Amino acid sequence: MYKLMFLSAALLTTAAHATAYPLTLTDDTGRKVTLKAEPLRIVSFLPSNTETICAIGGCDKLVGVDEYSDFPASVTRLPKVGNLYQPNIEAVVALKPDLVIVSKYGDLTAPLTNAGINVLAVNPETYEDVFSKTQLLGKIINRQAQATALVTQMRRDIARVEILAKNAVKKPTAYYEIDPTPYTVGPNSFVGVLLSKAGGANIIPAALGDFPKISPELVVKSAPQLIFGVDLATAKARPGWNTIPAVKSGRVIKDDALDHILSRPGPRLPQAFLGLAKLVHPELFK
Amino acid sequence: MSAVKTFPRRAASSPALPTLFLLAATLATVLLAVGLGSVPISPADTLKAIGHGLSGAELSGNDVIVWQLRLPRVALGWLVGAALGVSGGAFQGVFRNPLADPYLMGVASGAGLGATLVIALGLATLWLPLFALTGAMLSVFTALLIAREGNRLPPARLILAGVVVGSILTAFTTYLLLQNADRIRQVFAFTLGNLAFAGWPQVGRLLPYVLIGGGALLLLARALNTLQLGDLTARSLGLPVERLRLLVIVAASLCTAGAVSYAGIIGFIGLVTPHLVRRLWGADHRILLPISAIAGGTLLVLSDLLARTLTRPAELPVGVVTTLLGGPFFLYLLRRQKT
């Protein structure tokens, strides 16, 4: 079945053609945007979009990035234009971009379009978004073949790990904390999907939504075997948490480097996924 | 002074009845709050768990949830509510202003800045109470220093100094938040109040603030009554008005700062509770202050009970519940009050 998938992906690659400009599309804020020609001077305001653009061979088109864009290393040398919420509009205008790629958050569209600059919001949020937005960015910057190849590669890398995890005998129950309020992730969120693909059983019911604030009672009651996003000392100090199996066995993991790439719905998704799977099922990756 | 009129010295016809009701409500609220939560536990099991906890026996199953999560959460909530209630009553008395609340002297913004610093710098959350407390007390002392006029502490200057010091600190907080947008929700949670990780150690650490601050306020209750006659009259009766004002502000701020550093900034309890108590028990601070403490504690435990059960097993921020309950209730009191 996977062979079939690769075959069809390969077919798609050969079928991919150059983007025809002018290109009109509806962006993630619902605006109709027309690109008159292939963008050559791009400013990116989202680290994940920056990574994707570079991964499909558009790095040389970038003339500026937001201050959080730090991968690949080459983008750190580009002029910084602030961030979505504190943008340096003058710096953006001075770079004379022919396209600024923003998020649907922040209010950059109006000031930039008023300055005569073309703005487009691309917002990867869900697991499938990572792939569809990669294809979309490929279309926007005329790198469709590369985008398709990247998506194929990413899906293949993820599938390899996923199959291993799927065959695991035991699925440890897991709790993933995003901040100590505590907020956590539901099974349908980006991280929630990765967690279950990695062979972990999320203790949070889907009915609570993607980013619920939950009662610590629920965590104690669910007795997860794995806890992410908290360090062991903090977990031990929380009332009643020393009875949780994960805390007893020390499988309480705060991996800042992994959390960092997990927060980027971009081309490093397979790498993040592999990292997560290794933590959920260390026995499979010896 | 017209402000005196807002505190009618009318003794309630029968304070025994409301007192009885308050005690019954307190008992009922505490029982419900220990019995209900995101995990359903039967009353029998709850009692058994408390028995195990008290006897120091090994805790198993739901025992942990009742004894280590729910009980301390109720206890901390009650202490925080009591601290806010008694400080609110004292602030309203010392400023002779019904709009005063425990956060008047910048306690909330100081604590907020302290908490934001911990979160923005990425320090362990164990540091949060200490930073919040330090921020709160520093902002109060700054406001006191600025408002001082020789040996005097004029109420209007105090209020203005408190409000402006608070605004300046909030500006710093907002700036830090924008620089650390990814951690914004954590700070937001603090500013809405949070009792989620209340444990016995926190209860033990907050207790001295409430006992010392609240105790001092109760001792000053008689003097606060005299102060209601106005500064001039109070002074002519031999009351050291400025020293009293300083003592009340420091004691109430200490109480509030302790509460804020462990539970975040919980709104409306400190403002509404004394108003409610004054309507039913009258404005004698010897009664107003202790009753405000009890009522404040009970109201907060009740709000937290709603916060953790209305959407269970998810939770609402407790500050949202206190404000949604307290706000309309305050407006109702305002409409009914005859001037």
pLDDT (tens digit per residue) in A160-213 = 999 999 888 889 999 999 888 899 999 999 999 999 999 999 999 999 999 899
Residue A119 forms beta bridges with which residues?
A100
The mean pLDDT value for B319-325 works out to 91
A·B CB contacts under 8 A: 89
Least confident of B27-36, B85-94, B146-155: B146-155
Most B CBs within 10 Å: which of A215, A241, A263, as the mutation test of the B interface? A215
Does the domain formed by B65-336 have CATH 3.30.230.30? no
State the complex-level ipTM: 0.78
Residue in A182, A214, A240 nearest the CB of B68:
A240
- To the nearest whole Å, the CA of B52 is away from the closest chain A CA by 14
Residue B11 pLDDT greater than 60, yes or no: no
Total residue length of chain B: 339
Tokens of B16: 């025994």
What is the rounded (10 degree) CA torsion for A159, A161, A167, A169? -150
Contact B194, B318 (CB under 8 A): yes
Residue A9: how many CB atoms within 10 A of its CB? 16
Q: How many other CB atoms are there within 10 angstroms of residue B23's CB atom?
A: 12
- Location of structure tokens 């002018």: A22
Residue A171: phi and psi, rounded to 5, are -105, 105
> Nearest CA to CA, how far is A66 from chain B (Å)?
13
d(CA B198, CA B293): 20
Could you state, in order of their start, the residue ranges of all structural domains in chain A? 2-153, 169-285
**Domain A169-285 in the same topology as domain A2-153:** yes
- Indicate the pairing of strand A42-44 with strand A32-35: unpaired
Q: Mean pLDDT, to the nearest integer, of B94-115? A: 90
Q: Do A263 and B200 count as a contact with CB atoms less than 8 A apart? A: no
CB atoms within 10 A of CB A122: 24
- Please determine, looking at this structure, whether the domain spanning A169-285 carries the CATH number 3.40.50.1980: yes
Mean pLDDT of A38-64: 97
Query: What is the distance in angstroms between the Cα of B325 and the nearest Cα belonging to chain A?
Result: 21
Show the DSSP H helices in A84-170 as ranges.
89-94, 109-114, 127-140, 144-166
Q: Please say whether the beta carbons of A78 and A61 come within 8 A.
A: no
Q: Could you tell me if A120 and A100 are in contact, meaning their C-beta atoms sit under 8 angstroms apart?
A: yes
- Helices H / strands E in chain A, number of each: 12, 11
Q: Does B185 touch chain A (CB under 8 A)?
A: yes
User: Residue A86: which pLDDT band, with cuts at 50, 70 and 90?
Assistant: confident
Q: pLDDT at residue B2 above 50?
A: no
Q: Which residue did the predictor score with more confidence, B180 or A79? A: A79
Look up the CATH superfamily of A2-153: Nitrogenase molybdenum iron protein domain (3.40.50.1980)
Q: Are strands A99-102 and A173-179 parallel, antiparallel or unpaired?
A: unpaired
Better-predicted residue by pLDDT, B14 or A227 = A227
State the Cα–Cα distance between residues A260 and B43, nearest whole angstrom. Answer: 45
Do B114 and B300 meet the contact criterion of CB atoms below 8 Å apart?
no
B149 DSSP β-pair partners: B152
The arrangement of strands across the sheet holding A62-65 comes to A62-65, A42-44, A99-102, A119-121
Is pTM, for the whole model, over 0.95? no
Interface test with B, best of A217, A231, A238, A259 (most B CBs within 10 A): A217
> Are the beta carbons of B289 and B251 closer than 8 angstroms?
no
Instruction: Return d(Cα A254, Cα A60) in angstroms, integer.
Output: 35
Distance (Å, whole) CA B319 – CA B325: 10
